[in-house]
Structure 1
Amino acid sequence: MRETPAHETAPHARPQVVVATLALAGIVAALMQTLVVPLIGDLPRLLDASPSSTTWVITVTLLAAAVATPVAGRLGDMYGKKRLILACTVPLVLGSVVCALSSSVVPMIAGRGLQGLGMGIVPLGISLLRDVLPEQRVGSAIALMSASMGVGGALGLPFAAAIAEHGSWRTLFWVAAGLSLVVAVMVAVFVPKGAARTTPGRFDLLGAVGLGAGLVALLLAISRGSDWGWASGTTVSLFVGAAVVFTAWGWWELRTRQPLVDLRVTARPQVLMTNLASVLVGFAMYAQSLVLPQLLQLPVETGYGLGQTMLAMGLWMAPAGLMMMAVAPVGARLSAVRGPKVTLALGALVIATGYASSMLLLGSTWGILVVTLVCNSGVGLAYGAMPALIMSAVPRDETAAANSFNALMRSIGSSVAAAIMGMILAHMTMDLGGTALPTEAGFRTALLIGAGVGLAAAVVAALIPVRRATVTGDPVEATPARTAART
């Protein structure tokens, strides 16, 4: 049964307020990803733990977000997206409070895991916009909501660095808890309910456990492989285990009546190719955000480092996140005229151009600023187009699950980028005063790989077989297999 869009049943909801509220929710959720970056070097001292133990403060957030995002999307389709967005703010608040009160590594890891559970807000918000806004506003709102991920990540660095340098590190988490609570209140007051299934059905718990186990094995192998050794028994076992679990999970999802992820829909060429492009764009987006901050902070004695403090580095990187927000409306207009496929391909080309320009601009802070602005302009175009392509190819009652799976693909791309960039910079080093530092050739190699991945994303985007160009309406009818599966 097709649900009535909420914008038809909630005429007093103001679109501008709805979009601003959901965008703020996305920014706050994304903020959690970079919140602890300024503290990485100090965490062993602050928590009285080994450096290898404190790395889990970052890793656990990635793992929790990867597992929670597709689950939140499915539950949002079943029980209502607004309800699940509010549910996602609960672990954000609780996790921030736990971190603020932590004095050892175990509660800090637990708190950061709770924060990761809130990352489902962004794909849920994108899908909710389709339900609650008038048709003519959906495209621009989706682009803006998608850009919130970049804005939150970019603003998190200077925000966290300023507080960490001039106040207690615990203040970071108290502020994060306060912002999360404000978001929860705003969503409850200003955002109308989206469509949910009249008969929600049964949640695929076994599918959720299988997907979670496979993702944890895969992402652990990717994120910690360089530390454990890529040929070590632990790393190889995790990769093999992930392959086995995903195979069994796929078999189950194709046979259960109400799957967590409808693989038949996911296998449709438009959805499949968009998700593949999303992996590549996620890689290209994250690679420069890993490489360029290091270059900004390396000492000038290296001959290529720019000697910036953590706070100064964050301030140089922040405009790139704001650029994503600025280009979002441009991308929405381009998608309305030429289709989101064109916008995605153009965005990937702009990303590749930004990486290529770095070959000439690495010698100054202003040059790196230009590189980040160009790269993130492309990311803003691409991130706004991907949800539009996904939602124009799936049934309305699966938009949250489909968007969450797409967000997961981007996260996998980012994780692969972290592993590859880290491996390159760790192996191409020089000695400076007894400290191994990445060489200029290492930085240039990493950035050239980013350019190549951006070009690959553009090629994949150009090959996406698009049948429809809008994100409104109910574009895909249930196939006989889907109909039978739900009876």
Structure 2
Amino acid sequence: MSVTSTRAPAFVPVLALAGITVSLQQTLVVPLVPQFPRLLGAAPADTAWIVTATLLTAAVAVPIVGRLADMVGKRRMLLVCLAMLIAGSVVAALSTSLVPLIVGRALQGLATGVIPLGISLMRDELPPERLGSATALMSASLGVGGALGLPLAALIAQTADWHVLFWAAGGLGVVVLVGVLALVPESTQRAGGRFDLVGAVGLAIALVSLLLAVSKGGTWGWGSATTVTLFVVAAVVLLLWAWWELRTRQPLVDLRVSRRRQVLLTNTASIVMGFSMFAMSLVYPQLLQLPTSTGYGLGQSILVAGLVLAPGGLCMMAMSPVSARISAASGPRTTLMIGAFVVAVGYGVGAVFHGSVWELVISSIVIACGIGLGYGAMPSLIMAAVPVEQTAAANSLNNLMRALGTSFASAVAGVLLASLVTAAGVPTEGAFVLVMVLGAGAAVVAVAIVAAIPPQRPVPRRTERTGTAEAVAAEPEPVAAPALVRGVVRHRDAPAGGAVLTVVSTDGHQLGTVRAGEDGTFAVPRTGTGRAHLLVVQWSGIAQAEPLGGTDGVERDVDLPGDAGRDRGGRGAPAPSLTV
């Protein structure tokens, strides 16, 4: 049952805390990376797998967990992820050698799906007027945990045994697990069907090959046989995987939905924004810790470096309600564009002014504010364009795209900082500035990508005085009735011209109907009152119903399954077997 109160239910902060807890794992070991060879008696190249293992398992687990959540329940898979986090933390905390620590970190990576699962649960359980702010908060938790984790980890590493880091992570995981058991409801939305094992294995092989090549290419050599082979394997397997996903009846990732303009462009922008976000985490700590003798280093400790980034994490959290308000007034597309622009400004400030600690603090806060705005808008764009029973899978894929962006940022920045060095072997000031300029450029590219996304009508909200829905936008309502849903209806990749599309409310009343044009395009006008529940499509003996999220102005392309009827005389007639 959905929550209808205008107050935030208790499970929203629980899910946000879960997101912060999981994102903490990204920076948990950063202060210890230079010390692990000494602490574990292993070579630096081997201890690097402590970070790489988490990256690989996270990339593989996120899309698989998302699909399973849509099939068997989002809360159930959320509990599984938290159990993996706790188990991995305990294994790492008990480890005294390299291999057990790598295993523990790999288990922690399996919990990365918590954030998209939390967003999906919010969509199922919250009314539209509460959804924007809640999903923005959940999405911002990804950056908040990462920013706060560095100073906390540095403090613990300097004052206590390194095993305490993992005991603390496990303890926090237990707290969140109890909170989920006590306060988070299970969604009733189920996609059903069978799990696509072939698709899961294929995607895992492609992602592992790609991320290994990207993360280890600098160590192995970008032109080495191993790196080139991994890139080739990733490309070939990804093509074969896409071919399979388009032909199987119940794919791991519905590529027909993923290629919808709004979903495709949002995911592309997520890659670029992920690149832009992570560039700051790579450059600023190094600038702060380089000795002052270089002429541009600030000679600070790892703790101070972490404290410089910490205010940015708090700003991300503070920007989540702002992101929701802008999205409600002007649409999430506008919010994401503003966020990307602010990120570009922040990097521009950092590229010009980086000679003191306070200048880097200001720059990192501006970048963090932009990231908070942008990351808060991405789930709204995704969820407005996908069926409700595919919410977890779609959000997981979007989360994966952001992770790929951060991996590419790490590889590109690593190459630049390793190749542009002084006689002393440290990166030049120009190398740091170049990475910041690339971060700004990536944000500008994100603005251009998002500008191509069709604009949406603002989300209506309920007023406390009357309980009726009214538009949040300041401008007056247009005289013509706005479209409930618009898009293109196709059958076997060809336009399904003349299809009849009807939107019905939760109580079964018709809210609007229209016949698609010959090119398959449609825009269903609102002629009734109520929340949009189902989009019913009828064409040539085929009938299909797609759930809607209760929001007007949705972009939704429809791909009709099966074979069309031989008798086209009844084209567009209601299917006798359809029950609404």
How far has the Cα of 1:316 moved from its partner? 1.1
What is the one-letter code of the residue matched to 1:203? F
* 2:446 alignment partner in structure 1: 457
Shift of 1:467: 5.1
2:396 is aligned to 404
Amino acid at match of 2:403: S
SS in 1 for 2:426: strand
1:154 aligned to 2:147? yes
Higher strand proportion (structure 1 or 2) = 2
Q: Secondary structure at the match of 2:422?
A: strand
Q: Give the alignment partner of residue 560 of structure 2, picking from 469, 481, 485.
A: 481
Choose the corresponding residue for 2:136, options 133, 143, 163: 143
Could you say if the C-alpha distance between residues 480 and 406 of structure 1 is closer, same or farther in structure 2, counting changes exceeding 3 Å? closer
Task: Report the residue type matching 2:447 in the other structure.
Answer: A
Aligned position for 1:428? 420
Deviations 1:87-124 (A, max 9, x none): 10011000000101111111111100000000000001
Q: CA deviation at 1:18?
A: 1.3
- How far did 1:366 drift? 0.3
CA deviation after TM superposition for structure 1 residue 153, in Å: 0.3
- Measured against aligned partners, the alpha-carbon deviations of 1:14-50 in whole angstroms (never above 9, x if no partner) come to 7342111000000000001100001001111111111
Q: Which structure carries more helix by proportion?
A: 1
- Partners in 1 of 2:70 and 2:26 — Cα distance? 25
Amino acid at match of 2:102: I
SS in 2 for 1:62: helix
Partner residue, 1:116: 109
Question: Partners in 1 of 2:294 and 2:562 — Cα distance?
Answer: 63
Aligned sequence identity (%): 55
Question: How far off is 1:431 after superposition?
Answer: 2.9
Task: Quote the Cα distance in structure 1 between the aligned partners of 2:395 and 2:261.
Answer: 16
Are residues 1:46 and 2:39 paired?
yes
- Report Cα offsets for 1:446-471 as digits up to 9, x if no partner: 11111111100111111112455549
> Deviation of residue 154 (structure 1)?
0.7
The change in CA–CA distance for 1:36 and 1:483 in structure 2 (over 3 A counts) is farther
What pairs with 1:46-445 in structure 2 (closer than 5 Å)?
Answer: 46-197=39-190, 200-432=192-424, 436-445=425-434
1:472 counterpart = 2:549: yes
* Structure 2 unaligned residues grouped into runs of 5+: 460-547, 564-580
The 3-state SS of whatever aligns with 1:431 is coil
**Residues in 1 aligned to 2:268 and 2:174: alpha-carbon distance in whole angstroms:** 35
How far apart, CA to CA, are the structure 1 residues paired with 2:320 and 2:252?
Answer: 31
Structure with more relative contact order (C-alpha pairs < 8 Å, separation 6 or more): 1
User: What amino acid is aligned across from residue 127 of structure 1 in structure 2?
Assistant: S
Structure 2 counterpart of 1:221, one-letter code = A
TM-score (norm 1): 0.95
Rounded Cα–Cα distance in structure 1 between residues aligned with 2:244 and 2:265: 23
Q: Which moved more, 1:264-273 or 1:132-141?
A: 132-141
Residue 6 of structure 1: how far off its partner (Å): 3.6
1:406-447 deviation digits (Å, cap 9, x = unpaired): 000001110000000111000111133xxx111101101111
TM-score by length of 2: 0.80
* Structure 1: runs of 5+ lacking an equivalent: none
Preserved contact between residue 330 and residue 457 of structure 2 (Cα < 8 Å): no
* Structure-2 change in CA distance of 1:262 and 1:427 (3 Å): same
User: Offset at 1:132?
Assistant: 1.2
Task: Give the 3-state SS of the residue equivalent to 2:435 in structure 1.
Answer: helix
Contact 1:207–1:252 at 8 Å: present in 2 too? Answer: yes
CA distance in 1, matches of 2:270, 2:555: 21
Partner Cα separation in structure 2 for residue 140 and residue 311 of structure 1? 32
Q: Distance in 2 between matches of 1:483 and 1:38?
A: 55
User: In the comparison of the two structures, how many residue pairs are matched?
Assistant: 475
Contact 2:256 2:559 in 1 (8 A): no
**1:481 Cα shift?**
3.5
Output the CA distance in 2 between the equivalents of 1:343 and 1:304.
35
Using a 3 Å threshold, how does the CA distance of structure 1 residues 70 and 394 change in structure 2: closer, same or farther? same
Larger radius of gyration: 2
Distance 1:354 1:47 in 2: 39
Tell me the C-alpha RMSD between the 2 structures: 1.8
Q: Give the AA of the match of 1:473.
A: G
Give the aligned partner of residue 507 of structure 2. Answer: none
Which letter maps to 1:329?
A: P
